[in-house]
């Protein structure tokens, strides 16, 4: 299955792929393109990804989430390309026997994705300008390793 | 020659999606490639401390040897949104 896609994301497809009769709960997080960023009007966005690594990061994050929270299912999909306001850029679906595990696992998955997934967002503003959003340096950047070294091993 | 590829804002800064770096020898580290890039494309210098590097599916560290057979990919900070603990502000 492809986790990084240019095709529109569909919640029902994700739910069908994760059907599991042992589960009494599912939680779906959807990230959606909004019409503003830091006080500026946004007309649309473009997402780019480093594909070979992005697919691997999502696959590993799904497995990590399942093992860490004991949930039965975790599926993540991220869209790339040009998106309009209101379109979903990311979906996370989690299923578990009880709802608490799904809530916690879903939040962990999306928060961790934002630290690890090599995806970049370029805003197209309503005034005609555009710009990449700043983000989180990945773990092998000099800045991250220096910070980690300064804190010592925690 | 080593193929160096740029993503995100680095494409704008470098003015290209990729460029070729002439390796002095095959036994060279990621850090040495970045040092050469600073000289070849000075505009990248301010960004490099927050840049991670990858080859294939995996991140590589500054001290790692570069595999000259595959591109060295430069990845700026990822902008999926705000990280853990900040999610209420998104």
A37 at B interface, C-beta within 8 A: no
Chain B interface with A: residues with Cβ < 8 Å: 7-9, 12, 48-54, 56-62, 73, 75-84, 87
Of A117, A140, A146, the CB nearest to B53: A140
Count of structural domains within chain A: 1
How far does the CA of residue A141 sit from the closest CA of chain B (Å)?
4
* A contacts of B67 (beta carbons < 8 Å): none
CB proximity list for A138: less than 8 A, separation 6 or greater? A116, A118, A144, B52, B59, B75, B77, B78
Least Cα distance to A68 among A105, A23, A106 occurs for A105
Domain regions of chain B by residue span: 2-78
pTM of the model: 0.91
- B18-56 pLDDT, tens digit per residue, is 999 988 777 899 999 999 999 999 999 999 999 999 999
- pLDDT exceeds cutoff 70 at A154: no
C-alpha A100/C-alpha A94 separation (Å) is: 11
State the ipTM, two decimals.
0.88
Question: What is the CATH topology of the domain spanning B2-78?
Answer: Ubiquitin-like (UB roll) (3.10.20)
The pLDDT assigned to B89 comes to 42
**For A16-25, A121-130, A143-152, which range has the lowest pLDDT when averaged over its residues?**
A143-152
CB proximity list for B19: less than 8 A, separation 6 or greater? B4, B40, B41
Read off the tokens for B13: 């800064």
CATH number at residue A63: 3.90.1170.40
- B55-90 pLDDT, tens digit per residue, is 999 999 999 999 999 999 999 999 755 555 554 444
Domain that holds residue A126: 4-151
Read off the tokens for A31: 């990230």
């Amino acid at each position: 299955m492809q986790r990084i896609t240019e095709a529109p994301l569909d919640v029902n497809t994700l739910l069908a792929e994760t059907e599991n009769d042992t589960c009494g709960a599912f939680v779906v997080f959807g990230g959606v393109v909004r019409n503003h960023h830091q006080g500026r009007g946004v007309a649309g966005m473009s997402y780019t990804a480093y594909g070979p690594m992005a697919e691997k990061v999502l696959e590993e994050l799904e497995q990590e989430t399942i093992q860490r929270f004991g949930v039965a299912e975790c599926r993540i999909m991220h869209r790339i390309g040009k998106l309009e306001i209101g379109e979903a850029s990311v979906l996370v679906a989690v299923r578990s026997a009880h709802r608490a595990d799904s809530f916690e696992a879903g939040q962990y998955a999306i928060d961790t994705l934002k630290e690890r997934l090599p995806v970049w967002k370029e805003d197209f503003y309503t005034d005609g300008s555009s710009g990449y959003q700043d983000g989180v340096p990945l773990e092998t950047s000099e800045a991250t390793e220096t910070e980690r070294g300064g804190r010592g091993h925690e | 020659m080593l193929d160096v590829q740029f993503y995100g804002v680095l494409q704008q800064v470098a003015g290209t999606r990729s460029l070729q770096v002439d390796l002095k020898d095959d036994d060279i580290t990621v850090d040495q490639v970045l040092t050469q890039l600073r000289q070849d494309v000075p505009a990248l210098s301010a960004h490099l401390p927050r840049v991670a590097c990858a080859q294939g599916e995996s991140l590589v560290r500054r001290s790692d040897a570069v595999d000259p057979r595959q591109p060295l990919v430069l990845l700026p900070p990822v902008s999926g949104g705000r990280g853990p603990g900040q999610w209420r502000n998104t």
